[in-house]
Amino acid sequence: MYPLRRGSQVCFRGPALLVRKGNPLGIHGLAGIPRTGARIALADVAEAAARARYRATIDELIGKSAADAVFAAEAPTFAGRIGIVHRDLPEMVARGYADAAFTQYHLISYWTRIFPNHFELVPVSGAERFFVKIAFGRVVDPLHLRALRAFDEFFFGRAREVYPRYDFARMDDNEYGATLRLD
């Protein structure tokens, strides 16, 4: 483990829904899950923090009773998986284990770009206020100093303009590259 000396952050746009190409069930939001009889794929105990965050988000977006109905429509795990993580969600939709999946907007945007014949993104109204920030930390004595410098050059020189093109939230001058205290 290397001691961290500086951190920086990236902002996500909040969650969205992944559905099959053509959206055969006509799902246009979270309320469409129970209304259409759809099965939804959600990260489970393998990603407990994400699941708790998504539960709180869905509760606030559509109310507790409607959220209960969405969670009641959760697709079970499938053969070969002990628990479901975000990387399993497109497979669940593609193989028909689930009709929709709920996770971060930028991930769904990525999956729809690389598999345009299989998936569509359904935005969730109001979900952008449930963004997530992540941070990276720089080590004091890096194993590969050239790699650290190259990443810094990319992140602080180009990522600010590149990330929004791939559906990360645009960050203002005070947020982008802000040093985070790692007490």
**Residue 18 and residue 111 in contact, taking contact as beta carbons nearer than 8 Å:** yes
One-letter-per-residue 3-state SS of 93-110: HHCCCCCEEEEEHHHHHH
Q: What is the pLDDT of residues 35-69, one digit of tens each?
A: 999 999 988 755 677 778 889 999 999 999 999 99
DSSP strand E in 46-147: where? 100-104, 119-123, 133-139
Q: 25-63: buried (b, 16+ CB within 10 Å) or exposed (e) per residue?
A: bebbbbbbbbbbebbbbbbbeebeebbeebbebbbebbe
pLDDT in tens, 145-165: 999 889 888 877 777 777 777
- pLDDT 10s digits, 6-19: 444 455 678 899 99
Q: Domain locations in the chain?
A: 20-130
Distance of alpha carbon 114 from alpha carbon 89, whole angstroms: 14
pLDDT (average), residues 15-27 = 96
